[in-house]
Structure 1
Amino acid sequence: MIVPGVAADAAALAIPLEPLPADQVVAGTPSTGFVELTDTIGVWEHTPGTSTDVEADEVFVVLAGSATLSFTDSSLAPVELRPGSVVQLTAGMHTVWTVHETLRKVYVAG
């Protein structure tokens, strides 16, 4: 948890990782994990590989790594993610995360 007025080092947080369920894995053996800083803010990480997800409402900023984020249920073009990328997702979006280098992001949900 973060404390109002006190900085948290999102880049240095230890994040426990777990393998993704087989039905979400498209390629490789990716693992993911997150640390909640508040009820709506957290830090998420995804190791190299490709996985699918159904998104919640969130805005995120990439801290480290690189990936391609594709959308399977819309006409949106894939997004190349790198440090500094800011993306908004809406609830129900079906995504494919192709992670080239371990991706770490800070997200604000809701």
Structure 2
Amino acid sequence: MTEWLIRPNHSAALEALAVEHERVPEAQREDGAPTTGSVTLASGQQDGSSGIEIGVWEMSVGAMSDTEVEEVFVVLSGAATILFVDEDRTLALSPGDLVRLAAGTRTIWTVAEPLRKLYITL
């Protein structure tokens, strides 16, 4: 069963949603003093799957490393790049971009303007 933060037949103003940030752990920091935060909008399981989560995630200016989960996201605001470490390839992000990340992918996120995205993890 999926639990939703928003009620059926209502909307959520994602740009106005308050997101509390925490410092990125030192082991993940690549440049600057970035912070991240997220708000879960829905989570649960359907059809015996491992679970789904829908939410809003933000990162402040700076760079951090990460290992990704299976995810699809839409950039709502900001500007950043994602370096796919094992592919030595960089993807530029801007508002409106739709991105799919594969589980286990090693990345380095470099944020030039505070980034906000709507994500769905599987």
Q: For the superposition of Structure 1 and Structure 2, which TM-score range results when normalised by the shorter chain?
A: over 0.9
1:8 paired residue number: 12
Residue 51 of structure 1: how far off its partner (Å): 0.2
User: Percent of pairs identical after alignment?
Assistant: 46
Among 70, 76, 93, the residue aligned to 1:57: 70
Note the residue ranges of structure 1 that are not aligned, 5 or more in a row: none
2:37 paired residue number: 33
What is the number of equivalent residue pairs in this alignment?
109
Q: Using the alignment, how far apart are the partners of 1:41 and 1:11 within structure 2?
A: 15
Q: Please, what TM-score do these two structures have when normalized by structure 2?
A: 0.87
Compute the RMSD of aligned alpha carbons: 0.8
Q: Trace 1:1-110 onto structure 2 (pairs within 5 A).
A: 1-39=5-43, 40-74=53-87, 77-110=89-122
Q: Using the alignment, how far apart are the partners of 2:103 and 2:84 within structure 1?
A: 13
3-state SS of paired residue (2:33): coil
Note the residue ranges of structure 2 that are not aligned, 5 or more in a row: 44-52
Q: Deviations over 1:15-60 (max 9, x none)?
A: 0000000000000000000000001100000000000000000100
Q: Please, what TM-score do these two structures have when normalized by structure 1?
A: 0.96
Moved over 4 A (4+): none
> Radius of gyration: which is bigger?
2
